[in-house]
Structure 1
Amino acid sequence: MPIILSIETSTKGCSAAIHQDGKLLSISELSHEKSSSGMLTTLINHVVKVASLTFQNLDAIAVAKGPGSYTGLRIGVSTAKGLCFTLEKPLIAVNTLESMALGLSHFDSSYLLCPMLDARRMEVYCAVYQSVTLNEVEPTQAKIIDETSFSDLLQNNKIIFFGDGAEKCKATLGVNPNVIFLNGNQYPSAKYVGILATKAFGMNQFENVADFEPYYLKEFMTTTPKKK
Protein backbone atom coordinates (compact mmCIF):
# COMPACT_ATOMS: atom_id res chain seq x y z
CA MET A 1 0.00 0.00 0.00
CA PRO A 2 2.01 3.00 -1.24
CA ILE A 3 2.18 6.17 0.84
CA ILE A 4 2.44 9.17 -1.49
CA LEU A 5 3.01 12.86 -0.81
CA SER A 6 1.31 14.97 -3.48
CA ILE A 7 2.06 18.61 -4.33
CA GLU A 8 -0.18 20.95 -6.35
CA THR A 9 1.00 24.45 -7.33
CA SER A 10 -0.46 24.89 -10.83
CA THR A 11 -2.45 28.04 -10.04
CA LYS A 12 -2.28 30.94 -7.60
CA GLY A 13 -2.69 28.72 -4.54
CA CYS A 14 -1.05 25.52 -3.44
CA SER A 15 -1.87 22.31 -1.62
CA ALA A 16 -0.20 19.19 -0.27
CA ALA A 17 -1.72 15.84 0.63
CA ILE A 18 -0.83 12.38 1.87
CA HIS A 19 -2.54 9.29 0.45
CA GLN A 20 -2.10 5.68 1.46
CA ASP A 21 -3.24 3.24 -1.21
CA GLY A 22 -5.38 6.03 -2.69
CA LYS A 23 -7.06 6.92 0.61
CA LEU A 24 -6.62 10.50 1.78
CA LEU A 25 -4.84 10.69 5.15
CA SER A 26 -4.24 14.44 5.35
CA ILE A 27 -4.48 17.56 3.22
CA SER A 28 -3.64 21.24 3.59
CA GLU A 29 -4.63 23.90 1.06
CA LEU A 30 -4.15 27.63 0.52
CA SER A 31 -5.86 29.67 -2.17
CA HIS A 32 -4.09 33.00 -1.61
CA GLU A 33 -2.17 34.49 -4.47
CA LYS A 34 1.60 33.90 -4.34
CA SER A 35 1.14 31.44 -1.48
CA SER A 36 3.06 28.71 -3.31
CA SER A 37 6.55 30.04 -2.73
CA GLY A 38 6.14 31.10 0.87
CA MET A 39 3.98 28.34 2.32
CA LEU A 40 4.49 25.13 0.34
CA THR A 41 7.18 23.74 2.65
CA THR A 42 4.99 24.52 5.66
CA LEU A 43 2.04 22.68 4.09
CA ILE A 44 4.19 19.66 3.29
CA ASN A 45 5.55 19.41 6.84
CA HIS A 46 2.02 19.82 8.20
CA VAL A 47 0.42 17.00 6.19
CA VAL A 48 3.23 14.59 7.05
CA LYS A 49 2.84 15.40 10.74
CA VAL A 50 -0.98 15.15 10.70
CA ALA A 51 -0.74 11.74 9.03
CA SER A 52 1.55 10.63 11.90
CA LEU A 53 4.34 9.80 9.44
CA THR A 54 7.93 10.72 8.79
CA PHE A 55 9.36 11.59 5.40
CA GLN A 56 11.12 8.23 5.28
CA ASN A 57 7.70 6.53 5.44
CA LEU A 58 6.88 7.94 2.00
CA ASP A 59 7.06 5.65 -1.01
CA ALA A 60 6.90 8.36 -3.67
CA ILE A 61 6.51 12.08 -4.30
CA ALA A 62 3.83 13.21 -6.77
CA VAL A 63 3.50 16.62 -8.36
CA ALA A 64 1.00 18.29 -10.68
CA LYS A 65 3.13 18.81 -13.78
CA GLY A 66 0.92 21.39 -15.51
CA PRO A 67 -0.22 23.13 -17.52
CA GLY A 68 -0.71 26.18 -15.36
CA SER A 69 1.21 29.08 -13.84
CA TYR A 70 4.82 29.15 -14.98
CA THR A 71 6.06 30.31 -11.59
CA GLY A 72 3.81 27.97 -9.62
CA LEU A 73 4.79 24.92 -11.65
CA ARG A 74 8.47 25.74 -11.36
CA ILE A 75 8.18 25.99 -7.57
CA GLY A 76 6.17 22.79 -7.22
CA VAL A 77 8.38 20.69 -9.47
CA SER A 78 11.59 22.04 -7.93
CA THR A 79 10.29 21.20 -4.46
CA ALA A 80 9.20 17.70 -5.51
CA LYS A 81 12.53 16.98 -7.20
CA GLY A 82 14.42 18.22 -4.17
CA LEU A 83 12.49 15.85 -1.93
CA CYS A 84 13.06 12.95 -4.33
CA PHE A 85 16.82 13.52 -4.39
CA THR A 86 17.05 13.99 -0.63
CA LEU A 87 14.84 11.05 0.33
CA GLU A 88 15.80 8.84 -2.63
CA LYS A 89 12.15 8.38 -3.58
CA PRO A 90 10.60 8.08 -7.07
CA LEU A 91 8.81 10.98 -8.75
CA ILE A 92 5.30 10.76 -10.21
CA ALA A 93 3.92 13.51 -12.46
CA VAL A 94 0.19 14.08 -12.92
CA ASN A 95 -1.55 16.20 -15.55
CA THR A 96 -3.18 19.15 -13.77
CA LEU A 97 -6.27 19.16 -15.99
CA GLU A 98 -6.85 15.43 -15.54
CA SER A 99 -6.71 15.84 -11.77
CA MET A 100 -9.30 18.63 -12.01
CA ALA A 101 -11.56 16.41 -14.10
CA LEU A 102 -11.27 13.66 -11.49
CA GLY A 103 -12.78 16.05 -8.97
CA LEU A 104 -15.97 16.21 -11.06
CA SER A 105 -16.03 12.63 -12.33
CA HIS A 106 -19.12 11.94 -10.19
CA PHE A 107 -21.27 13.57 -12.87
CA ASP A 108 -23.30 11.25 -15.06
CA SER A 109 -21.34 9.61 -17.87
CA SER A 110 -23.45 11.44 -20.45
CA TYR A 111 -21.51 14.63 -19.65
CA LEU A 112 -18.13 15.72 -20.92
CA LEU A 113 -15.81 17.62 -18.60
CA CYS A 114 -13.66 20.53 -19.75
CA PRO A 115 -11.29 21.91 -17.09
CA MET A 116 -9.93 25.33 -18.04
CA LEU A 117 -6.99 27.28 -16.63
CA ASP A 118 -6.56 30.93 -17.50
CA ALA A 119 -3.75 31.69 -19.94
CA ARG A 120 -3.71 35.08 -21.71
CA ARG A 121 -6.54 37.17 -23.10
CA MET A 122 -9.08 34.69 -24.56
CA GLU A 123 -6.67 31.77 -24.37
CA VAL A 124 -7.04 28.90 -21.91
CA TYR A 125 -5.27 25.66 -21.12
CA CYS A 126 -7.90 22.96 -21.49
CA ALA A 127 -8.72 19.36 -22.27
CA VAL A 128 -11.95 17.39 -22.58
CA TYR A 129 -12.67 14.18 -20.69
CA GLN A 130 -15.56 11.75 -20.47
CA SER A 131 -17.09 11.91 -17.02
CA VAL A 132 -16.75 8.83 -14.78
CA THR A 133 -14.16 7.06 -16.97
CA LEU A 134 -11.96 10.15 -17.57
CA ASN A 135 -11.25 8.91 -21.08
CA GLU A 136 -9.58 11.71 -23.01
CA VAL A 137 -11.82 13.19 -25.71
CA GLU A 138 -9.62 16.18 -26.60
CA PRO A 139 -5.96 16.38 -25.53
CA THR A 140 -4.40 19.04 -23.34
CA GLN A 141 -3.86 22.20 -25.36
CA ALA A 142 -3.60 25.97 -25.29
CA LYS A 143 -6.80 27.11 -27.01
CA ILE A 144 -8.04 30.53 -28.05
CA ILE A 145 -11.77 30.59 -27.37
CA ASP A 146 -14.24 31.94 -29.93
CA GLU A 147 -17.85 31.21 -30.96
CA THR A 148 -16.82 28.07 -32.86
CA SER A 149 -14.81 26.46 -30.06
CA PHE A 150 -15.95 22.90 -29.19
CA SER A 151 -18.74 23.21 -31.79
CA ASP A 152 -18.37 19.62 -33.03
CA LEU A 153 -18.56 18.16 -29.53
CA LEU A 154 -21.41 20.43 -28.49
CA GLN A 155 -23.67 19.17 -31.26
CA ASN A 156 -24.33 15.92 -29.41
CA ASN A 157 -22.88 16.40 -25.93
CA LYS A 158 -23.39 18.51 -22.83
CA ILE A 159 -20.05 19.88 -21.69
CA ILE A 160 -19.32 21.13 -18.18
CA PHE A 161 -16.76 23.96 -18.23
CA PHE A 162 -14.96 24.80 -14.98
CA GLY A 163 -11.76 26.18 -13.52
CA ASP A 164 -10.38 29.71 -13.35
CA GLY A 165 -10.31 29.99 -17.14
CA ALA A 166 -14.00 29.23 -17.60
CA GLU A 167 -15.35 32.53 -16.29
CA LYS A 168 -14.05 34.58 -19.21
CA CYS A 169 -15.59 32.11 -21.68
CA LYS A 170 -19.17 32.49 -20.48
CA ALA A 171 -20.14 35.29 -22.85
CA THR A 172 -18.64 33.50 -25.85
CA LEU A 173 -19.79 29.93 -25.21
CA GLY A 174 -22.76 30.39 -22.91
CA VAL A 175 -25.33 30.86 -25.69
CA ASN A 176 -25.15 27.15 -26.55
CA PRO A 177 -27.79 25.15 -24.61
CA ASN A 178 -25.36 22.23 -24.23
CA VAL A 179 -22.85 24.40 -22.35
CA ILE A 180 -22.83 24.23 -18.54
CA PHE A 181 -20.75 26.51 -16.32
CA LEU A 182 -20.34 25.66 -12.65
CA ASN A 183 -20.66 28.39 -10.04
CA GLY A 184 -17.37 29.36 -8.43
CA ASN A 185 -13.86 28.36 -9.37
CA GLN A 186 -12.86 24.72 -9.06
CA TYR A 187 -9.15 24.91 -8.34
CA PRO A 188 -6.68 22.04 -8.78
CA SER A 189 -6.04 20.11 -5.57
CA ALA A 190 -3.43 17.68 -4.27
CA LYS A 191 -6.39 15.58 -3.10
CA TYR A 192 -6.96 14.43 -6.68
CA VAL A 193 -3.30 14.42 -7.69
CA GLY A 194 -2.71 11.76 -5.06
CA ILE A 195 -5.46 9.50 -6.37
CA LEU A 196 -4.06 9.55 -9.91
CA ALA A 197 -0.53 9.17 -8.53
CA THR A 198 -1.53 6.00 -6.70
CA LYS A 199 -2.70 4.51 -9.99
CA ALA A 200 0.54 5.57 -11.69
CA PHE A 201 2.57 4.02 -8.84
CA GLY A 202 0.89 0.68 -9.40
CA MET A 203 1.88 0.85 -13.08
CA ASN A 204 5.47 1.90 -12.30
CA GLN A 205 4.99 5.17 -14.16
CA PHE A 206 7.87 7.16 -12.69
CA GLU A 207 9.77 10.14 -14.06
CA ASN A 208 13.50 10.62 -14.50
CA VAL A 209 14.06 13.00 -11.59
CA ALA A 210 17.17 14.63 -13.04
CA ASP A 211 15.64 15.45 -16.43
CA PHE A 212 12.00 16.10 -15.54
CA GLU A 213 10.59 19.55 -16.33
CA PRO A 214 7.11 21.04 -15.80
CA TYR A 215 4.58 20.78 -18.62
CA TYR A 216 4.45 24.47 -19.45
CA LEU A 217 2.64 23.78 -22.75
CA LYS A 218 3.90 27.05 -24.19
CA GLU A 219 6.86 29.30 -23.65
CA PHE A 220 6.82 31.71 -20.75
CA MET A 221 5.79 35.17 -21.98
CA THR A 222 7.23 38.32 -20.47
CA THR A 223 7.43 41.96 -21.37
CA THR A 224 10.81 43.62 -21.76
CA PRO A 225 11.45 47.32 -22.35
CA LYS A 226 12.35 48.31 -25.88
CA LYS A 227 15.94 49.31 -26.47
CA LYS A 228 16.45 52.93 -27.29
Structure 2
Amino acid sequence: MNLVAIETATSACAVAVRTRGGDEFIRVFDEERRHNEVLSEAIAQLLDEAAIGVREVDRVIVDRGPGLYTGLRVGLATAIALAQGIGADLVAVTSLETLAWGAFSAGVRGRLVACVDARRGEIFTQLFELGDGAEQNSAPRVARARNVVIEWATNGAPVTFSGDGVERYLSDFAAVPNGVIHHQAVPSIRAALSMGARRVVEGAVVPLYLREADAVANFTTRERPQ
Protein backbone atom coordinates (compact mmCIF):
# COMPACT_ATOMS: atom_id res chain seq x y z
CA MET A 1 0.00 0.00 0.00
CA ASN A 2 0.97 3.62 -0.49
CA LEU A 3 0.77 5.15 2.99
CA VAL A 4 0.72 8.65 4.45
CA ALA A 5 1.26 9.05 8.20
CA ILE A 6 0.61 12.23 10.19
CA GLU A 7 1.95 12.94 13.69
CA THR A 8 0.95 16.16 15.49
CA ALA A 9 0.44 15.07 19.12
CA THR A 10 3.48 16.92 20.47
CA SER A 11 5.14 20.25 19.79
CA ALA A 12 6.88 18.62 16.82
CA CYS A 13 5.08 17.75 13.60
CA ALA A 14 6.04 14.69 11.55
CA VAL A 15 4.83 13.41 8.19
CA ALA A 16 5.84 10.22 6.41
CA VAL A 17 5.12 8.48 3.12
CA ARG A 18 5.77 4.81 2.41
CA THR A 19 5.45 3.50 -1.14
CA ARG A 20 4.16 0.11 -2.20
CA GLY A 21 7.79 -0.77 -2.86
CA GLY A 22 8.75 0.01 0.75
CA ASP A 23 10.59 3.30 0.21
CA GLU A 24 10.07 5.81 3.03
CA PHE A 25 10.16 9.60 2.99
CA ILE A 26 9.99 11.50 6.29
CA ARG A 27 9.85 15.10 7.49
CA VAL A 28 9.97 16.26 11.11
CA PHE A 29 9.31 19.89 12.01
CA ASP A 30 9.95 21.17 15.53
CA GLU A 31 7.71 24.19 15.05
CA GLU A 32 5.13 24.44 17.80
CA ARG A 33 1.90 26.25 16.88
CA ARG A 34 2.73 26.05 13.16
CA HIS A 35 1.34 22.58 12.45
CA ASN A 36 -1.43 24.01 10.32
CA GLU A 37 1.07 25.91 8.16
CA VAL A 38 3.57 23.12 7.50
CA LEU A 39 1.43 19.98 7.41
CA SER A 40 -0.31 20.11 4.02
CA GLU A 41 2.80 21.46 2.30
CA ALA A 42 4.95 18.70 3.80
CA ILE A 43 2.54 16.00 2.62
CA ALA A 44 2.56 17.41 -0.91
CA GLN A 45 6.37 17.62 -0.94
CA LEU A 46 6.82 14.03 0.25
CA LEU A 47 4.33 12.66 -2.26
CA ASP A 48 6.22 14.52 -4.97
CA GLU A 49 9.55 13.07 -3.79
CA ALA A 50 8.02 9.59 -3.72
CA ALA A 51 6.56 10.11 -7.21
CA ILE A 52 3.09 9.25 -5.94
CA GLY A 53 -0.03 11.09 -7.02
CA VAL A 54 -2.31 12.04 -4.17
CA ARG A 55 -5.05 9.77 -5.54
CA GLU A 56 -2.63 6.84 -5.47
CA VAL A 57 -2.55 6.97 -1.65
CA ASP A 58 -4.25 3.85 -0.30
CA ARG A 59 -4.27 4.62 3.42
CA VAL A 60 -3.88 7.61 5.73
CA ILE A 61 -2.61 7.02 9.27
CA VAL A 62 -3.02 9.62 12.00
CA ASP A 63 -2.01 9.93 15.64
CA ARG A 64 -5.26 10.51 17.55
CA GLY A 65 -3.56 11.39 20.83
CA PRO A 66 -3.28 11.87 23.64
CA GLY A 67 -1.34 15.07 23.12
CA LEU A 68 -1.55 18.81 22.73
CA TYR A 69 -5.10 19.85 21.88
CA THR A 70 -4.47 22.21 18.97
CA GLY A 71 -1.96 19.92 17.27
CA LEU A 72 -4.31 16.95 17.49
CA ARG A 73 -7.17 18.93 15.98
CA VAL A 74 -5.00 20.02 13.05
CA GLY A 75 -3.64 16.52 12.42
CA LEU A 76 -7.02 14.82 12.62
CA ALA A 77 -8.75 17.41 10.44
CA THR A 78 -6.02 17.11 7.80
CA ALA A 79 -6.07 13.31 7.83
CA ILE A 80 -9.86 13.07 7.63
CA ALA A 81 -10.07 15.62 4.82
CA LEU A 82 -7.32 13.88 2.85
CA ALA A 83 -8.76 10.37 3.25
CA GLN A 84 -12.31 11.44 2.43
CA GLY A 85 -11.20 13.57 -0.49
CA ILE A 86 -9.38 10.74 -2.27
CA GLY A 87 -11.36 7.76 -0.97
CA ALA A 88 -8.46 6.28 1.01
CA ASP A 89 -8.67 4.19 4.18
CA LEU A 90 -8.25 6.09 7.44
CA VAL A 91 -6.79 4.42 10.54
CA ALA A 92 -5.48 5.77 13.82
CA VAL A 93 -2.67 5.04 16.25
CA THR A 94 -1.98 6.62 19.63
CA SER A 95 1.01 8.71 20.61
CA LEU A 96 1.80 6.41 23.54
CA GLU A 97 1.83 3.20 21.52
CA THR A 98 4.00 4.79 18.83
CA LEU A 99 6.48 5.76 21.55
CA ALA A 100 6.42 2.16 22.81
CA TRP A 101 6.89 0.62 19.37
CA GLY A 102 9.60 3.15 18.57
CA ALA A 103 11.48 2.08 21.69
CA PHE A 104 10.92 -1.58 20.84
CA SER A 105 12.36 -1.04 17.36
CA ALA A 106 15.42 0.58 18.98
CA GLY A 107 16.04 -2.56 21.04
CA VAL A 108 14.45 -1.59 24.37
CA ARG A 109 12.96 -4.54 26.29
CA GLY A 110 11.09 -4.93 29.57
CA ARG A 111 8.79 -2.40 31.23
CA LEU A 112 8.42 0.89 29.40
CA VAL A 113 6.52 3.93 30.62
CA ALA A 114 5.58 6.12 27.65
CA CYS A 115 5.05 9.77 28.56
CA VAL A 116 3.70 12.65 26.46
CA ASP A 117 3.93 16.16 27.86
CA ALA A 118 0.47 17.45 28.82
CA ARG A 119 1.72 20.80 30.20
CA ARG A 120 0.68 22.29 33.55
CA GLY A 121 2.90 19.78 35.37
CA GLU A 122 1.03 16.79 33.91
CA ILE A 123 1.82 14.00 31.47
CA PHE A 124 -0.18 11.50 29.45
CA THR A 125 1.26 8.11 30.30
CA GLN A 126 0.84 4.38 29.75
CA LEU A 127 2.74 1.25 30.80
CA PHE A 128 3.92 -1.28 28.21
CA GLU A 129 5.81 -4.56 28.35
CA LEU A 130 8.30 -4.84 25.52
CA GLY A 131 9.02 -8.48 24.70
CA ASP A 132 7.85 -9.99 21.44
CA GLY A 133 6.20 -6.65 20.74
CA ALA A 134 4.78 -3.74 22.73
CA GLU A 135 1.99 -5.07 24.96
CA GLN A 136 -0.22 -2.55 26.74
CA ASN A 137 -0.16 -3.21 30.49
CA SER A 138 -2.37 -0.29 31.50
CA ALA A 139 -4.86 2.13 30.05
CA PRO A 140 -3.62 5.57 28.99
CA ARG A 141 -4.13 8.20 31.70
CA VAL A 142 -3.24 11.75 32.62
CA ALA A 143 -1.23 12.23 35.81
CA ARG A 144 1.02 14.66 37.60
CA ALA A 145 4.57 14.04 36.40
CA ARG A 146 5.80 14.18 39.98
CA ASN A 147 3.35 11.46 41.03
CA VAL A 148 4.53 9.14 38.25
CA VAL A 149 8.13 9.66 39.35
CA ILE A 150 7.24 8.91 42.98
CA GLU A 151 5.23 5.84 41.94
CA TRP A 152 8.18 4.27 40.13
CA ALA A 153 10.76 5.40 42.68
CA THR A 154 8.70 3.58 45.32
CA ASN A 155 8.13 0.55 43.10
CA GLY A 156 11.86 -0.03 42.61
CA ALA A 157 11.38 -2.34 39.61
CA PRO A 158 13.56 -1.91 36.50
CA VAL A 159 11.81 0.41 34.06
CA THR A 160 12.51 2.53 30.99
CA PHE A 161 10.97 5.96 30.49
CA SER A 162 10.49 7.55 27.07
CA GLY A 163 8.77 10.52 25.47
CA ASP A 164 8.75 14.31 25.57
CA GLY A 165 7.01 14.13 28.95
CA VAL A 166 10.19 12.51 30.26
CA GLU A 167 12.44 15.04 28.55
CA ARG A 168 10.49 17.91 30.13
CA TYR A 169 11.08 16.54 33.64
CA LEU A 170 14.34 14.78 32.83
CA SER A 171 16.17 15.36 36.11
CA ASP A 172 13.23 13.91 38.06
CA PHE A 173 12.87 10.78 35.93
CA ALA A 174 16.64 10.27 35.77
CA ALA A 175 16.72 10.05 39.58
CA VAL A 176 14.36 7.03 39.71
CA PRO A 177 16.27 3.98 41.07
CA ASN A 178 16.56 1.23 38.41
CA GLY A 179 15.13 3.67 35.87
CA VAL A 180 16.62 4.15 32.40
CA ILE A 181 15.88 6.98 29.98
CA HIS A 182 15.30 6.15 26.32
CA HIS A 183 15.60 9.51 24.60
CA GLN A 184 12.74 9.72 22.09
CA ALA A 185 11.02 13.07 22.27
CA VAL A 186 8.75 12.60 19.24
CA PRO A 187 6.40 9.60 18.80
CA SER A 188 7.96 7.43 16.10
CA ILE A 189 6.50 8.20 12.69
CA ARG A 190 8.08 4.99 11.36
CA ALA A 191 6.23 3.05 14.05
CA ALA A 192 3.03 4.80 12.99
CA LEU A 193 3.60 3.64 9.41
CA SER A 194 4.19 0.03 10.47
CA MET A 195 1.26 -0.12 12.89
CA GLY A 196 -1.08 1.68 10.54
CA ALA A 197 -0.29 -0.70 7.69
CA ARG A 198 -1.48 -3.63 9.85
CA ARG A 199 -4.41 -1.93 11.53
CA VAL A 200 -7.99 -2.88 10.66
CA VAL A 201 -10.21 -0.06 9.43
CA GLU A 202 -12.87 0.39 12.12
CA GLY A 203 -14.89 3.41 11.06
CA ALA A 204 -14.76 6.92 12.46
CA VAL A 205 -11.52 8.09 14.05
CA VAL A 206 -12.04 10.07 17.25
CA PRO A 207 -9.44 11.99 19.25
CA LEU A 208 -8.09 10.62 22.52
CA TYR A 209 -7.91 13.77 24.64
CA LEU A 210 -8.02 12.37 28.24
CA ARG A 211 -8.26 15.96 29.51
CA GLU A 212 -10.21 19.06 28.58
CA ALA A 213 -8.41 21.41 26.24
CA ASP A 214 -5.90 23.80 27.77
CA ALA A 215 -7.83 26.71 26.24
CA VAL A 216 -11.06 25.60 27.96
CA ALA A 217 -9.29 24.96 31.26
CA ASN A 218 -7.57 28.34 31.20
CA PHE A 219 -10.83 30.12 30.38
CA THR A 220 -12.59 28.31 33.24
CA THR A 221 -9.82 29.30 35.63
CA ARG A 222 -10.03 32.96 34.62
CA GLU A 223 -13.81 32.97 35.01
CA ARG A 224 -13.83 31.27 38.41
CA PRO A 225 -15.13 33.60 41.16
CA GLN A 226 -12.50 34.81 43.59
Q: CA RMSD in A?
A: 2.3
Deviations 1:10-45 (A, max 9, x none): 111211111246945211111122231111001100
2:161 and 2:173 in contact (8 A); partners too: no
Cα distance, 1:181 vs structure 2: 2.1
Structure 1 match to 2:135: 135
Q: Does 1:205 align with 2:201?
A: yes
2:125 and 2:143 in contact (8 A); partners too: yes
Structure 2 match to 1:67: 66
Matched residue SS, 1:113: strand
Cα distance, 1:179 vs structure 2: 1.0
Structure 1 match to 2:176: 176
Q: Does 1:150 align with 2:143?
A: no
2:122 and 2:143 in contact (8 A); partners too: yes
Matched residue SS, 1:138: coil
TM-score by length of 2: 0.85
Structure 2 match to 1:90: 89
> 5+ unaligned residues in a row in structure 1: which ranges?
none
Tell me which amino acid in the other structure corresponds to 1:178: N
Cα distance, 1:107 vs structure 2: 2.6
2-structure distance, mates of 1:98, 1:22: 25
1-structure distance, mates of 2:161, 2:182: 7
Give the paired residue count: 217
Greater fraction helix: 2
Tell me which amino acid in the other structure corresponds to 2:32: E
Cα distance, 1:87 vs structure 2: 0.5
Distance verdict in 2 for CA 1:108–1:116, change over 3 Å: closer
1:28 and 1:46 in contact (8 A); partners too: no
1:113 and 1:160 in contact (8 A); partners too: yes
Cα distance, 1:134 vs structure 2: 0.2
Structure 2 match to 1:112: 111
Deviations 1:169-225 (A, max 9, x none): 445444332111245x5212422211110111xxx33332xxx33111111133234
- The higher relative CO (CA closer than 8 Å, separation ≥ 6) is in 1
Distance verdict in 2 for CA 1:219–1:31, change over 3 Å: same
Distance verdict in 2 for CA 1:189–1:40, change over 3 Å: farther
TM-score by length of 1: 0.85
Structure 2 match to 1:193: 192
2-structure distance, mates of 1:207, 1:151: 41
1:90 and 1:207 in contact (8 A); partners too: no
1:125 and 1:142 in contact (8 A); partners too: yes
Tell me which amino acid in the other structure corresponds to 1:213: V
Structure 1 match to 2:207: 214
Deviations 1:138-190 (A, max 9, x none): 221112232532367x433x21112221134445444332111245x521242
Matched residue SS, 1:130: strand
Cα distance, 1:9 vs structure 2: 0.7
Tell me which amino acid in the other structure corresponds to 1:63: V
Q: Percent identity?
A: 24
Matched residue SS, 2:196: helix
> 5+ unaligned residues in a row in structure 2: which ranges?
none
2:153 and 2:177 in contact (8 A); partners too: no
